[in-house]
């Protein structure tokens, strides 16, 4: 079994010194690692991920409910933006704990794929579960406030919680009486790693283009660019309690 790294620097970045480090080591163990290391003393992190997901959702929901007077639709969108895989993976990278995650040799080499993004996001949730078991609600709330809720201000300012496709369509129909359409302009790469370039049109006019590893992802990217191009991105100021 590989020598385990010194976890003290990671604990310092997380802001939590574990009384029982077995929780942290389990949170850092990806399923693939056990396929190559049958003697590893800890199970994979999926049960902790399950727990951490519930703890994260509850604490974020309670914070939004107590601090904002907006309706449940707004609060749901904000929560989704805070806890989605892209946000959580970014937080994982900011905390620099990717090097601590125990993965198979194959997974370790695949650093920029969607699979790695989900491994990082799931590890954040597992870490939250581990902190909750080790330190209780207060400790997990401290971590979530410092490292996740701290992103809320930027999410609201950037309106990254907005469903770009729906927003563009609703605005185009309301202001212009036109329903936008999407067209694949280019696709390249092997089947397992395609990249699509898609244009968003109003009538015959190309408004913006977007790229993505799926048609849906490229459409969302195009819609986001279209909102900016048309000056339709601005939302009313949020109502804070």
Instruction: Determine whether 71 is an active site residue.
Output: no
- Set 125, 134, 141, 224: catalytic member: 125
- Set 6, 11, 36, 53: catalytic member: 53
Alpha helices in the chain (DSSP H): 8-14, 21-27, 31-36, 46-67, 72-83, 85-94, 105-109, 114-147, 152-158, 164-176, 215-230
Q: CA–CA separation, 99 vs 168, rounded Å?
A: 40
Q: CA–CA separation, 138 vs 15, rounded Å?
A: 12
Q: CA–CA separation, 126 vs 25, rounded Å?
A: 10
Instruction: Determine whether 74 is an active site residue.
Output: no
Q: 44-50: long-range contacts (C-beta < 8 A, 24 or more apart)? A: 45/122, 45/123, 45/126, 46/122, 46/126, 47/129, 48/23, 48/125, 48/126, 48/127, 48/129, 48/130, 48/133, 49/122, 49/123, 49/125, 49/126, 49/129, 50/129
List the catalytic residues. 53, 125
């Amino acid at each position: 079994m590989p020598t385990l790294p010194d976890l003290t620097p990671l604990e310092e970045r997380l802001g939590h010194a574990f009384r029982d480090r077995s929780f942290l080591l389990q949170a850092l163990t990806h399923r693939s690692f056990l396929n190559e290391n049958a003697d590893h003393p800890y199970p994979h992190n999926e049960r902790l991920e399950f727990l951490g997901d519930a703890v994260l959702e509850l604490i974020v929901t309670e914070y939004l409910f107590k601090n904002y007077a907006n309706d449940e639709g707004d609060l749901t969108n904000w929560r989704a933006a805070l806890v989605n895989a892209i946000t959580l993976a970014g937080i994982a990278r900011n905390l620099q704990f990717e090097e601590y995650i125990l993965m198979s040799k194959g997974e370790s080499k695949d650093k920029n794929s969607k699979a790695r993004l989900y491994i990082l996001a799931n590890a954040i949730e597992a870490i939250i579960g581990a902190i909750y078991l080790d330190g209780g609600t207060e400790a997990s709330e401290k971590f979530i406030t410092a490292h996740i809720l701290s992103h809320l201000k930027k999410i609201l300012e950037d309106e990254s919680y907005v469903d770009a496709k729906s927003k563009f369509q609703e605005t185009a129909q309301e202001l212009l009486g036109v329903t936008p359409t999407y067209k694949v302009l280019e696709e390249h790469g092997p089947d397992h790693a395609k990249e699509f370039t898609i244009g968003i049109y109003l009538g015959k006019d190309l408004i913006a283009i977007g790229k993505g590893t799926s048609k849906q992802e490229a459409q969302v990217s195009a819609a986001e660019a279209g909102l900016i191009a048309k000056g339709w991105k601005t939302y009313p100021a949020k109502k804070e309690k």
